[in-house]
Amino acid sequence: MANTRLVDRVGTASGTLAILLLAVGLYLGLAVAPPDFQMGDVYRIFYIHLPSWFGVALAYLTSFVASILYLFKRQPRFDQWALAGAEVGVVFNITGLITGSLWGRPTWGVYWTWDPRLTTTAIMLVTFAGYLVLRGFLEDPEARARVSALVAIVGFFNVPIVYYSVKWWRTLHQQPSSPNTVDASMVTPLRVMGFAFLCLCTYLMCRRYALAEAESAAEREDLQMGVANG
């Protein structure tokens, strides 16, 4: 029980922090930071776009690590963390792809290009969406946890290989942004938004984990009722 309370407390704290940081970050990014010298105000979507990918990284990494831990420890809570990570990751992945497309249209002239980063993130989305679909088809909780853990691990291993293979195939995306390539006046709002999204991601994962825990408790209860009633 103590464990659950810690998760809930972390969830509430990171959720509160996320709201504060989002407010500050959006104000800094939309009102204070100067327009880009080439892209004008359009670039401001970047304060949502890049932080979304931070969330994706944190969430999928959680899912990957939890899946490995599940295979070796066989505790349901690792499976619940893996589910929470995959589901929150898919949400941020979709956000990242949509904001990227909206940004790509005015700056590159197209919504979509076959650039390594775009292609890899799309494949990542399909992989983890497949993971979530798969879970829906497996009824036995232990088989579900084991099979989906294997799928998450292999899917995660595949990401760098897809990235490099598509990179050889073609390349167009601008260099990834880092504090060195971004003007100082834009770094602060970006950092704030980055932390805001990480907090938001943590908050969502904690809540999703608690939900998964409740679901599996309900599942067990159903099973016991079924056994008791013959």
Partner 1 sequence: MTELRRIWIVVWKDALTERRTKAAFNAMAFFAGLVLLIFAFAIGPDIPVSGPAGQGLLEYIAPGLLWVAILLTGVLALGRSFQVEMENGALEGLRLYPGDRRAIGAGKIIANVLTLVAMEALVVPIAGILYSIDLWSKLPALAGVFLLATLGFAAVGTFYAALTANLRAREVMLPLLLFPVMVPVVLAAVKATFLVLNGDLMGELSAWVRLLVVFDAVFVTVCTLAFGFVLEE
User: In the complex, which residues of this chain contact partner 1 (CB under 8 A)?
Assistant: 71, 119, 123, 126-127, 130, 133-134, 137-138, 143, 146-147, 149-151, 153-155, 157-158, 161-162, 164-166, 168-169
Q: In terms of CB distance, is 158 or 177 closer to partner 1?
A: 158
Give the span between the Cα atoms of 83 and 61, in whole angstroms: 12
Cα–Cα dist 107/56, whole Å = 24
Whole-number minimum distance, CB 173 to partner 1, in Å? 17
Q: For residue 134, what are the contacts with CB-CB under 8 A and spacing of at least 6?
A: 147, 148, 151
- Least separation in angstroms between residue 177's CB and partner 1 is 25
Whether 11 contacts 203, CB under 8 Å = yes
Taking the complex as a whole, how short is the minimal distance between the CB of residue 180 and partner 1, in angstroms?
30
Residues 52 and 95: beta-carbon distance below 8 Å: yes
Nearer to partner 1, 39 or 163 (CB): 163
Alpha carbon 186 to its chain's center: 24
Name the residue nearer to partner 1 (CB basis): 40 or 160.
160
The answer to whether residues 152 and 158 touch, using CB atoms and an 8 Å cutoff, is no
CB of 153 to partner 1, least distance (A): 8
Cβ closer to partner 1: 32 or 161?
Answer: 161
